[in-house]
Amino acid sequence: MSSATETAALELRREHEATEKTVFGFWVYLMTDCVLFASLFAVYAVIHGNTYGGPSGKDIFKLPYVLIETFALLASSFTCGLAMLSMQRHAKKQVLFWLGVTFLLGVSFLCLELNEFHHLVADGNSWRQSGFLSSYFTLVGTHGLHITFGLIWMAIMAGYVWKRGLTDTVRKRLMLLSLFWHFLDVIWIFIFTIVYLYGSLGL
Amino acid sequence: MMNLVGQCAFALLGKLGWNQIPRNPIEAGGAATIVCGVLFIVALVTYLHRWKWLWKEWMTTQDPKRIGVMYIVVALVMLLRGSGDAILMRLQQSISVGNNNGILSSSHFQQIASAHGTIMIFFVAMGLMFGIINLVLPLQIGARDVAFPFLNATSFWLFFMGMALVNVSLVLGDFSAAGWLSYPPLSELRYSPTVGVDYWIWALQIAGVGSLLSGVNFLVTILRMRAPGMTLMKMPMFAWSVLGSMSLVAFAFPILTVTLALLALDRTVGAHFFTAGGGGNAMMYVNLIWAWGHPEVYILVLPAFGIYSEIVSTYARKRLFGYTSMVWAIWAIVLLSFTVWLHHFFTMGAGANVNAFFGIMTAVIAVPTGVKIFNWIFTMHRGRISFRSPMLWFLGFVTTFTIGGVAGVMMSVPAIDFQVHNSLFLVAHFHMMIVGGVVFGYFAALTYWFPKIFGFRLHEKLGSIAFWFWLVGFLVAFIPLYILGFMGATRRLDHYDASLGWQPLFIVAGVGVVLIGIGVGFQILQLVVSIWQRNERRDLSGDPWNGRTLEWSVPSPAPFYNFTKQPVVTARDQFWEDKQSGKNRVKEYEDIVLPKNSGLSVVIASFAFLVGFGMVWHMYWLSLVSLLGIIVTLVVRSMNEEPEYTITAREVEKLEHQREHQLKEYEGLV
């Protein structure tokens, strides 16, 4: 093998190892984020009964509304997956299209959530009301905050795809973004079940 | 009109005003010390024209060895501040009896006690730990760097800014007086209305995020960047202990992040997580903080265990006894450390069965620790031990750690714990574990690896004198506290009645602190003398202690690229095996890729500081702008696709020849 090919092969292996390392590191980060949410779930589990004369989950949760929210987020996870498939095929325009759809779905989810929060606060059921509402707003709000950062990240990545095309770095970062987005989807499933579903049943 | 000005001022400055500068002579003295210290450093650097050097060589560096040195410098400065707090407390408790109220007001004493604990754990022990890991770990596993160098630098600067926020509290406002873990409801706004607790929250939050990121970084470093051939079971024991410790960081620190955030929400936006009314649950805080806090103890001590393992086998010239059982012991400790947190509050009333479970688990965790102690002793058995100062620190550790450990097992029995809960007995116990276990280990590590980083050895004689003052002073300072605890003396006590008869023991404890102070004096002297005589103390071989692991296979000080060619590993104690088989390493060179320097870590951490400062003083605009600043900085960072540079094999060869030339020159001097 000539020295040039050898160097090129080495370079390629180094590149591959670096990507693999970053993805692994991001997984570890996601696990720490998972512990963070687990702690918030634990807090919610401990004090969701402390309504302190205020409303309980049964009084304020509107399941059909939350179901729409949920579908918006689940659909965004699906379209995010489609963006990744397009990325595998190096189809830049399709990646941009699906990222755009994902972004819009994410924004709709966030707007629905903020609207829900707004109504609760307007009705006098803010986080100052009781331990239950404090933990509810914090758990759901932390997820919302993650979604917000995910959306900012997505917008920036769309800019990179548009400007630089699907370079190795851009592809690596898109991979991380999609991991992040699916992770938030999983967390939401737990929020939907434990907070809204159990809450509506008065559990 | 005045009203409008007032409103504008509030919007801009929040709660901050001239009246927040301390006026009481002792507090003002503390403030003046901090301000003068910072001004002195600024003046010195300016006078020596070293700003550019400081920025280019240190502040923007991505070299873990330099980052490690910065961690250690910050930690040692904070050690002096924390010791100052300790001296004030010992002085107060020695004289504040009966009609004498001592030199400190009650509230100031509580602030000092809180600051002492916070600083010693977060900014001394953690700083020394991450410093030593940065210095040693990549070298030991045959890597050139950590997995994410930029993240590593950012972690350090977050740690630095957390430290800065604690010290700003001396000058503006006050510090928390609610203990080092700020239990609510005392730490809630209603009972602690000043900014003290907010300083505590945000300093720890910033430094804590830094630690969490470091944890992720080193986990990936160990699991993905070991030299070819170094299977997990061929890793040096220090690397194993760091792997255990960093796994704990990854699982425990998010809990701290949440706990601090919830307390901040209570205090800032009126939430009810831990408040006395409103449906809050203060006991939940105590559970949460210890679900982080107990693993934290093992986060600190596991790397120290690793250090002892390296030191014992090196100075006994034997391979470590029971390598496999050591590994299992580490992982047993990692798992069990998450099952014992409730022993910090047996008295809270969880009930007999719950207490029994946690009591038994606590006693059980002493087993793997005992396994390690015996393994070290068996390593020494029939070894040719050379009693250099790292070995002395180790032997001191075995003594104090065993005393403290036995006291710990005693307290794991809930019935006994009810008698000594929150007493000085407990204070004596955990100082024995954290000073005797952790700090002794880190001191040993600093002496042991010093030549690898700086290229010359520390003065041995002064080091052992320092050790003996430390050991004797430490026992004199803390054994009386066990007795006082039995006599009923509680912790954080700023005044007591003369008829209790406690004063003589408190004075003895004070004498102990003086002895420790002399020990610290000798350590400073050791450093100064060693630097003075550095040319005759050069380590020319790169292997001053006849070491066993890879870091000793490179010359001292280790070059910034660590290895000219990445080593290939076939055995545990690879370097020792190479020396035994008389294998002469042929110098080989290869192209090396290293990260470029970046100042953005400093920028991100400075913004984080401002976020914290804004939250403390309710200057929300500042926090918001700074948060945006962090995001923008990250985007700027992401624009640069080539943050690395390559040194060619030829350049490496040239650098190595220069070094050999330099070493020959030193040889003439020794």
pLDDT digits (tens, 9 = 90+) for A41-75: 999 999 999 999 999 999 999 999 999 999 999 99
> Does the distance separating the beta carbons of B254 and A36 come in below 8 Å?
yes
A21–B272 CB contact, under 8 Å: no
Nearest Cα of chain A lies from the Cα of B194 at a distance, in angstroms, of: 21
Q: Which residues of B398-408 are buried (b: 16+ CB within 10 A; e: fewer)?
A: bebbebbbebb
Among A23, A39, A138, the residue to mutate for chain B (most B Cβ within 10 A)? A39
Q: What is the pLDDT of residue B670?
A: 60
Q: Model confidence at B16, in pLDDT bands (50, 70, 90)? A: confident
Contact B279 A35 (CB under 8 A): no
Domains and CATH numbers, chain B: 50-598+640-669 (1.20.210.10)
CA atoms within 13 A on the CB side of B632: 8
Residues of B within 8 A of A24 (CB-CB) are: 220, 223-224
pLDDT of residue A1: 44
Taking an 8 Å Cβ-Cβ cutoff, which residues of chain A contact chain B?
14, 17, 20-22, 24-25, 28-29, 31-33, 35-36, 39-40, 42-43, 46-47, 50-52, 54, 127-132, 134-135, 137-138, 152, 156, 160, 167, 169, 173
- A156 and B635: CB-CB below 8 Å? yes
Burial class (CB in 10 A: 0-12, 13-18, 19+), B43: exposed
Smallest CA-to-CA distance from B453 within B558, B560, B554 is with B558
Percent of chain B predicted with pLDDT > 90: 86
From its phi and psi, is residue B182 left (phi > 0), alpha (psi between -120 and 50) or beta? left
Cα B368 to chain center, whole Å? Answer: 23
- Residues in CB range of B499: below 8 A, 6 or more apart: none
- Predicted pLDDT of residue B406: 93
B284-293: pLDDT as tens digits:
999 999 999 9
Contacts of B641 in chain A (CB under 8 A): 167, 169
Distance of CA B412 to the CA centre of its chain: 26
CA angle, corner A135, sides to A129 and A141, nearest 5?
A: 105
B250 → closest Cβ in A31, A42, A128: A31
Report the range of poorest mean pLDDT among A87-91, A199-203, B227-231, B486-490: A199-203
The answer to whether residues B181 and B341 touch, using CB atoms and an 8 Å cutoff, is no
Residues paired with B492 in a beta bridge? none
Q: What is the residue whose two structure tokens read 């807090």?
A: A43
Nearest CA in chain A to B291: A39
Residue A11 has pLDDT above 80, yes or no: no
pLDDT of residue A3: 65
Q: Which domains does chain A have, with CATH numbers?
A: 22-201 (1.20.120.80)
Q: For chain B, what is the mean pLDDT?
A: 93
pLDDT (0 to 100) of residue A2: 56
Q: What is the pLDDT of residues B241-255, one digit of tens each?
A: 999 999 999 999 999
At B169, which amino acid appears?
Answer: S
pLDDT of residue B30: 82
User: Mean pLDDT in chain A?
Assistant: 94
Which of A21, A42, A43 lies at the smallest CB-CB distance from B220? A21
Q: Which of B214, B222, B258, B591 to mutate to test the interface with A (most CBs of A within 10 A)?
A: B258
The pLDDT of residue B2 is 64
Rounded to two decimals, the pTM is: 0.95
**Where is B594: in which H helix or E strand?**
strand B592-595
Please report residues of B whose CB lies closer than 8 A to that of A152. Answer: 631
Q: Do B212 and A32 touch (CB under 8 A)?
A: yes
Which residues on B lie below 8 Å from A29 (Cβ)?
216
Q: Do B271 and A173 touch (CB under 8 A)?
A: no
pLDDT at A18 over 90: no
Q: Is the Cβ pair B271, A25 closer than 8 Å? A: no
Contacts of B261 in chain A (CB under 8 A): 138
Q: Which residue of A has its CA nearest to B640?
A: A169
Q: Which residue has the tokens 């390559």?
A: B646
Q: Which of A144-148, B176-180, B654-658, B665-669 has the lowest mean pLDDT?
A: B665-669
CA distance B528 to chain A (A): 41
Say if CB B343 and CB B358 are below 8 A apart. yes
Residue B18: its pLDDT value, please?
79
The DSSP 8-state label assigned to residue B188 in this structure reads S
Q: Tell me if chain A has a CB within 8 Å of the CB of B265.
A: yes
| Residue B463, pLDDT above cutoff 70 | yes
pLDDT at B122: 97
Higher-pLDDT residue of B643, A37: A37
Among the partner residues A24, A35, A47, nearest to B284 by beta-carbon distance = A47
CA atoms within 13 A on the CB side of B633: 19
B557 prior amide bond cis, ω within 30: yes
* B282 close contact with A: CB closer than 8 A: no
Phi, psi of B456 (to 5 degrees): -140, 155
Mean pLDDT on B253-258:
98
Cα distances (angstroms) measured from residue B404 to each of B236, B397, B430: 27, 10, 7
Confidence check: pLDDT of B186 > 90: yes
Q: B270–A132: do the CB atoms touch at under 8 Å? A: no
Of B220, B251, B641, the CB nearest to A25: B220
**Which chain A residue has the Cα nearest residue B287?**
A43
Q: What proportion of chain A, given as a percentage, has pLDDT over 90?
A: 88
- Residues B658, B652: Cα–Cα separation, whole Å: 10
Q: How near does any CA of chain A get to the CA of B158, in Å?
A: 17
Q: Which residue from B minimizes the CA distance to A34?
A: B254
**A134–B219 CB contact, under 8 Å:** no
Kindly report, residue by residue over B573-614, the tens digit of the pLDDT: 999 999 998 876 677 888 999 999 999 999 999 999 999 999
Are B550 and B139 within 8 A, CB to CB? Answer: yes
B254/A50 CB distance under 8 A: no
> pLDDT per residue over B103-118, tens digit each?
999 989 999 999 999 9
The pLDDT value given to residue B585:
67
| Lowest mean pLDDT, pick from B198-212, B283-297, B531-545 | B531-545
